[in-house]
Structure 1
Amino acid sequence: MLRNDKLDQWDRENFFHPSTHLAQHARGESPTRVIRTAAGSHIEDRDGNRFLDAFAGLYCVNVGYGRQEIADAIADQARELAYYHAYMGHGTEASITLAKMVLERAPANMSKVYFGLSGSDANETNVKLIWYYNNILGRPEKKKIISRWRGYHGSGLVTGSLTGLDYFHKKFDLPLAQVLHTTAPFYYRRADRAQSEADYVASCVADLEALIAREGADTIAAFIGEPVLGTGGIVPPPEGYWQAIQGVLRKHDILLVVDEVVTGFGRLGTMFGSDHYGLEADFITIAKGLTSAYAPLSGSIVSDRVWKVLERGTDENGPLGHGWTYSAHPIGAAAGVANLKLLDDLKLIENVQSVGSYLRQSLAEALGDHPHVGEVRGEGMLAAVELIKDKEKQIYFDPADKAVARVSAAMMDQHKVIARAMPQSDILGFAPPFCLTREEADTVVAATQKAVKSVLG
């Protein structure tokens, strides 16, 4: 299409894209796609291509695109007060109201919410507070954090270390020494195919116990995990996993950080994943669903028992030396207030329960018997299709085949449906907006079935 602007050229010459093959993009070997507008479950680029976004951006746009109520709240807040800081007891009507709304929805043992901008900085906050907590309790050696392979917790120095994907470590000198990794609860990819779910959970617990014994419980401060593995493959845990893991953590006085950046505010069909799996967290990380990504905002929700120690710490040492310039930014907070109201008013979590289940069931019926589909899984408005080279022999595609990338590209280019090729895997991921209809779910399933057939046979 001929244009009278140079956006494509400016993009390649000036814009540093995240998670992108920089050289290929700069050379023009990968496309520049400029998104112009969006509504409901669809986005549209400036070439007029309209796509059903079955990944809600990056699991973000829970309430759907184009919600005027949130846009109006942002505009009203910007006109009244575009910015003021939250340091030294300052606040805004929006930030204070949103904190109350979050705590009303959070599990009963949670006490306060600290607002940041992204899930990454929220997990950085969590780790700093965990270290502070143990220093106040006179346990300066109790600082290591256990994460899980295939977990995703951010892209910073500590949070990139917590992330259990080599893609985020390679050539970055990560992970840092304070971070340890244990087994991911990925039952489908178990080494022993004869192992029952109960036996597999027991082996995950044994791996964790062995790690704690090797390092010493007096050196381990916390364990971090997503209720459902997200970027690592959209993997719900085996039955009984979280109950068993929590038992180990309690025995060794290890704090639990529940990363709900993806699962918070309804994606599993409950307000929090902690509710869904019976988790009693010391910290809960929130971000994407807090504002449905209409404005940047994240949060660290702190439990009663941690908060009491933080208060003691400031009595002993003065004000807490932690803060971000944009913590509790009023525009983000105003978006959050309007977003959570919409979540309730439109009964979107109820839609997650019904349409999410329908989407997973329909994917399983359409693709479950395909020779290159190993598993269809998910929970709430999350689903995944695991591709495999040989289902009977459990042989995976070679990464050089780029099987899942080719399938997701076919879905987008040929069928105008966006699914995500999950990193370091042959997994096709789905995390649609909560307003997805059954008819739209049918479109997603049909596109997936056609793309898998056209690419893999």
Structure 2
Amino acid sequence: MRDIDVLIDSDRGSVLHPFTQLKDFATGKSGPPTIVTGGKGIRIQDATGRSYIDGFAGLYCVNIGYGRTEVAEAISRQAHALAYYHSYAAHTTEELAVLGQRLVRMAPGKMSKVFFGLSGSDANETQAKLVWYYNNLRGRPQKKKIISRERGYHGCSVIAGSMTGMSFYHDYMDLPFAGILHAGVPHHYWGAAPGESEEAFSRRRAAELDALIVREGPDTVGAFIAEPVLGTGGLTPPPKGYWREIQQVLKRHDVLLIADEVICGFGRTGRDFGSQLYDMEPDLVTVAKGLTSGYMPLSGAIVSEKIYSVMEEAADRVGSFSHGYTYTGHPISAAAANAVLDIFEKEKLTERAEKVGAYLQRRLRESFSSVDIVGEVRGVGLLAAVEFVADRERKRRFDPALKVGARVSKAARDRGLIARAMPHGDILGFAPPLIITEAEVDEIVAIAVEAVNEVMDELAREKR
């Protein structure tokens, strides 16, 4: 390996890192970059030789774990045979044809086709264009607005970034674009009125959505995009009855449902797709992350029969479908995805996520539910969060300047556990690889307990 100090200087001098305080990084105030050199199972290793449990599977994506040679071999075979060819004008490859059929069969709802990209962001850009295209083709040119939700995450590009319902993705970036609206966040803990049940809260959120659509004009609203479970917005499962109530509103107003399954898809919730867990019937499905477990970039916009039939019927009138990227359907990415799905099926990772996920949820609740600074422990499958508050009884948040969530995350990392400090609150998030064992869950929870205790002690000293 090259000299570590040389690599650090090279990186600091040349790489524009996402979600990094640029001045602190450039001056060294925030420390050097972590040079990740390897990984095996649920652990990664850095250039100093230190090992970490990756309690967040990269960015929710390394579902099959690190170091799977089966995927590396599939990538190599495809690269040796054919490293690249495009999929324009009806060109394809063996791996792409096989993968498309697999996804159509796996996906929730009545799906017909898959458009491939490279990231969840570009897939959601595609979804927006499909909504606009579909409504143009059926003579509804005004029906174009897309409703997302506060704290929903749908990407960082222009329209996907606009659909993301977190202001710091918009600040200084001239987002959101016009025509993108945001409905209320479905988080019962913070959003419910005193004494309001989850079912009543869900009905209220649905009524608010209905009122928003009516106010804008139903003939101007084309789609509603949402994650089955909020991901980056707090790892928050929907309250009881939420998706039943929401879908009734969408059907009433002929509004398409885009299920953003980038995080929830491929077993993360204990079902193949989060939509299946909550009886969602999407018209469009967005996939990425777990599709290749991060081994290669790949995303998909899965299109229902309802939408595709309109597109095909209009083809003689409008000509070719004019959308695509140089790397749409990249053969190496498709080969990686098929190898990952082979492992996914062979090792029954969805069933494993359901079983071990239930164990993770139970252990977190046992360990944190009665801790003074913990307001809520929540999650489903292998998605989980612990949210910290200054006052449990009054549901009072900590002063953001205290950075409690970030401090707990750092204390965990100092002990060899990567658990993410989530935005929009003091939240410690977990999304480990689906191959995790119950013994490894115990390791994660034990480290998290130590980290929380350390920060609690610090807060007590600071009060004196």
Q: TM-score, normalised by structure 1?
A: 0.98
What is the DSSP-based 3-state SS (H/G/I as helix, E as strand, rest coil) of the residue aligned with 2:446? Answer: helix
What is the DSSP-based 3-state SS (H/G/I as helix, E as strand, rest coil) of the residue aligned with 2:376? Answer: strand
Deviation at 1:312, TM superposition (A): 2.1
Equivalent in the alignment of 2:38: 37
Residue type of the partner of 1:129? L
| Structure 2 residue 388 is the aligned partner of structure 1 residue 387 | yes
> Using the alignment, how far apart are the partners of 2:197 and 2:172 within structure 1?
38
Give yes or no for contact 1:408–1:428 (8 Å, CA) kept in 2.
Answer: yes
CA offsets 1:87-106 (integer angstroms, 9 cap, x no match): 00000111111111111211
Identity in percent: 52
Deviation at 1:456, TM superposition (A): 1.9
> Using the alignment, how far apart are the partners of 2:351 and 2:213 within structure 1?
40
CA offsets 1:303-341 (integer angstroms, 9 cap, x no match): 000000111232211001100110010010000000000
Give yes or no for contact 2:109–2:282 (8 Å, CA) kept in 1.
Answer: no
Equivalent in the alignment of 1:267: 268
> Using the alignment, how far apart are the partners of 2:326 and 2:425 within structure 1?
37
| Structure 2 residue 124 is the aligned partner of structure 1 residue 123 | yes
Equivalent in the alignment of 1:204: 205
Equivalent in the alignment of 2:461: none
CA offsets 1:345-378 (integer angstroms, 9 cap, x no match): 1121121011111011001101110010011110
Deviation at 1:26, TM superposition (A): 0.7
Residue type of the partner of 2:224? F
Equivalent in the alignment of 2:430: 430
Equivalent in the alignment of 2:75: 74
Residue type of the partner of 1:7? L
Residue type of the partner of 2:417? V
What is the DSSP-based 3-state SS (H/G/I as helix, E as strand, rest coil) of the residue aligned with 1:76? Answer: helix
Equivalent in the alignment of 1:279: 280
> Using the alignment, how far apart are the partners of 1:350 and 1:109 within structure 2?
23
Runs of 4+ in structure 1 over 4 Å off? 2-5
What is the DSSP-based 3-state SS (H/G/I as helix, E as strand, rest coil) of the residue aligned with 2:364? Answer: helix
> Using the alignment, how far apart are the partners of 2:109 and 2:230 within structure 1?
24
What is the DSSP-based 3-state SS (H/G/I as helix, E as strand, rest coil) of the residue aligned with 1:6? Answer: helix
What is the DSSP-based 3-state SS (H/G/I as helix, E as strand, rest coil) of the residue aligned with 1:341? Answer: helix
Cα root mean square deviation, aligned: 1.1
Equivalent in the alignment of 2:242: 241
| Structure 2 residue 452 is the aligned partner of structure 1 residue 448 | no
1:11-410 correspondence runs (5 A): 11-31=11-31, 32-410=33-411
Change (3 A) 1:48 1:4: closer
Give yes or no for contact 1:123–1:153 (8 Å, CA) kept in 2.
Answer: yes
> Using the alignment, how far apart are the partners of 2:138 and 2:351 within structure 1?
43
> Using the alignment, how far apart are the partners of 2:323 and 2:21 within structure 1?
35
Q: TM-score, normalised by structure 2?
A: 0.97
CA offsets 1:378-437 (integer angstroms, 9 cap, x no match): 011111001111111111012111110000000001x10110001122111100000101
> Using the alignment, how far apart are the partners of 2:377 and 2:391 within structure 1?
15
What is the DSSP-based 3-state SS (H/G/I as helix, E as strand, rest coil) of the residue aligned with 2:39? Answer: strand
- Where does structure 2 lack aligned partners over 5 or more consecutive residues? 458-464
Residue type of the partner of 1:98? L
Deviation at 1:3, TM superposition (A): 4.4
CA offsets 1:70-117 (integer angstroms, 9 cap, x no match): 000001101100000000000011111111111121125111111100
Q: How many equivalent pairs are there?
A: 455
> Using the alignment, how far apart are the partners of 1:3 and 1:143 within structure 2?
53
CA offsets 1:245-295 (integer angstroms, 9 cap, x no match): 000000000000000000111111111111111111110000001000100
Equivalent in the alignment of 2:460: none
Deviates more, 1:349-358 or 1:53-62: 349-358
> Using the alignment, how far apart are the partners of 2:107 and 2:447 within structure 1?
37
What is the DSSP-based 3-state SS (H/G/I as helix, E as strand, rest coil) of the residue aligned with 1:181? Answer: strand
Give yes or no for contact 1:167–1:424 (8 Å, CA) kept in 2.
Answer: no
- Where does structure 1 lack aligned partners over 5 or more consecutive residues? none
What is the DSSP-based 3-state SS (H/G/I as helix, E as strand, rest coil) of the residue aligned with 2:442? Answer: helix
> Using the alignment, how far apart are the partners of 2:176 and 2:5 within structure 1?
43
> Using the alignment, how far apart are the partners of 1:206 and 1:106 within structure 2?
29
